[in-house]
């Protein structure tokens, strides 16, 4: 891995740029031409898909699933029989692990409910908390399988009290959803599961079709076309954010173990060629040893080619003079995941202003957060940890403010309201208050 020793160069490398679609791979450009019969930008393609799904409903979903995924479906919805059969296709050890993870996720989000947003009434003012009625969960799929994402999105919604959870995920080439995904959906108590992926799935959840009900919010990660679709339907529905490629920063001092630093960097890099795995360290020895360990461990990985490209393109080892410099870089980058592999790691938490999740010490690898720790692994990426939070129960709750004033309080505040209303030229607003004031005073 490349080692960066200049602090100013490191800051320049870690500054974020706004999300852009960027240059598409040749294969993706060809796919767009095959599907639409002409060259389109990703934005144009997604806009066309959304319009077709909005206007044609299920017909467009069947059509795009065949044209994009190469799967001709008889039905969009996964049946109860398919879910029950999935249990027979999944190893009992995995089912046990999914149940363990589900319990951890459920327990953490139950804690959030107890300590999070509260109802109150005080002095005529208050707020009530209500769950969303129906949410849509998107889980990437196709050639891959992500049962963990099902648990990490659906369970927080269920704990928050959402009445109906609809899940969409692309089918495999045989038209089926991977069995582990179906088992996870059953464990998470998903209400409806549909074999639809990509931008067309987001459009279906946002606008509704003959088979798929319209939801109030769409959550979950996805690729470029899913991100663009979520951005385009925002306003029609709420979204949880625009989760891009995953990223990890490891902050290490001389106490860190290079073999573990390398293992964690590679665990991140194997996700995707666009993933980012960065080590920031105060130790030249840790930097050099970790770089060598990465090369040694790469040869042992099944996804070595993906991991190597990720590390070559976006992976860095940054050498700094002290922990303060390291923390400055962390806060500049605002990573999705931050691992603190330093002496007295907990003592630095107060200085971390921007990070999706903080993992303390060598006994807490970020991999635990991906699967079984409890907090959702749907976290802010691309620097959005500066203003967004990990997915949690608050994403599935909404607040309604309540105002209840007595005549005495109206007398106290009403004149100010009327004055401001008249200053804004809204005479009817002012009169609505002034009439009540006169009535309270017994005036005509």
Which residues are known to be catalytic?
336-337
The CA dihedral of 214, 374, 181, 391, to the nearest 10 degrees, is 30
Structure tokens at 318: 């940054």
| SS3 state at 365 | coil
Structure tokens at 115: 């300590």
Beta strand extents in 297-356 (DSSP E only): 316-319, 337-341
Q: CA–CA separation, 136 vs 233, rounded Å? A: 13
**Residue carrying the six token digits 């009540």:** 436
Q: CA–CA separation, 379 vs 409, rounded Å? A: 44
Instruction: Mark residue 307 as left, alpha or beta (left: phi above 0; alpha: psi -120 to 50; beta: remaining).
Output: alpha
Beta strands across the sheet bearing 337-341 = 3-4, 316-319, 276-281, 247-252, 337-341, 357-360
Residues 6 or more apart whose Cβ sits within 8 Å of residue 223: 140, 198
Q: CA–CA separation, 436 vs 190, rounded Å? A: 50
Structure tokens at 326: 């390291």
Given CA atoms 66, 68, 71, 75 in this order, what sign does their dihedral have?
A: negative
- SS3 string of 35-81? HHCCCCCHHHHHHHHHHHHHHHCHHHHHHHHHHHHCCCCCCCECCHH
């Amino acid at each position: 891995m490349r080692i960066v020793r200049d602090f100013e160069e490191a800051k320049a490398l870690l500054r974020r740029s706004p999300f852009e679609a960027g240059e598409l791979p040749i294969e993706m450009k060809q796919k767009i031409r095959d599907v639409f019969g002409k060259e389109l930008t990703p934005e144009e393609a997604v806009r066309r898909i959304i319009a077709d799904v909005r206007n044609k409903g299920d017909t467009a979903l069947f059509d795009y699933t065949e044209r994009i995924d190469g799967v001709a479906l008889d039905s969009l919805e996964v049946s109860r029989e398919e879910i029950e059969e999935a249990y027979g296709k999944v190893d009992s050890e995995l089912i046990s692990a999914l149940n363990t993870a589900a319990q951890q996720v459920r327990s953490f989000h139950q804690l959030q409910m107890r300590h999070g947003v509260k109802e109150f009434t005080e002095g005529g003012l208050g707020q009530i908390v209500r769950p969303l009625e129906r949410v849509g969960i998107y889980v990437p799929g196709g050639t891959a399988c992500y049962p963990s994402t099902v648990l990490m999105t659906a369970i927080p919604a269920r704990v928050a009290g959402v009445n109906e959870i609809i899940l969409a995920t692309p089918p495999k080439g045989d038209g089926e959803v991977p069995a582990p995904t179906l088992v996870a959906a059953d464990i998470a108590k998903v209400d409806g599961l549909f074999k639809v992926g990509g931008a067309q799935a987001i459009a279906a959840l946002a606008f509704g079709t003959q088979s798929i009900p319209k939801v109030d919010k769409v959550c979950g990660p996805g690729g470029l076309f899913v991100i663009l679709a979520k951005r385009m339907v925002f306003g029609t529905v709420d979204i949880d954010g625009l989760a891009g490629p995953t990223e990890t920063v490891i902050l290490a001092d001389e106490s860190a173990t290079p073999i573990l630093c390398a293992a964690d960097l590679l665990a991140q890099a194997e996700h995707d060629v666009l993933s980012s795995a960065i080590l920031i360290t105060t130790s030249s020895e840790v930097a050099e040893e970790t770089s060598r360990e990465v090369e040694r461990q790469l040869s042992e990985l099944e996804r070595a080619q993906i991991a190597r490209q990720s590390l070559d393109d976006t992976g860095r080892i940054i050498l700094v003079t002290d922990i303060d410099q390291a923390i400055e870089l962390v806060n500049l980058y605002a990573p999705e995941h931050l691992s603190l592999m330093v002496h007295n790691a907990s003592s630095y938490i107060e200085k971390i202003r921007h990070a999706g999740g903080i993992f303390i010490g060598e006994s807490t690898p970020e991999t635990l957060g991906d699967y079984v720790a409890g907090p959702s692994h749907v976290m802010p990426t691309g620097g959005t940890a500066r203003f967004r939070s990990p997915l949690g129960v608050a994403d599935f709750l909404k607040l309604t403010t309540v105002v209840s004033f007595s005549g005495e309080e109206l007398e106290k505040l009403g004149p100010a309201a009327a004055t401001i209303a008249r200053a804004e030229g809204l005479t009817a607003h002012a009169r609505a208050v002034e009439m009540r004031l006169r009535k309270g005073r017994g005036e005509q």
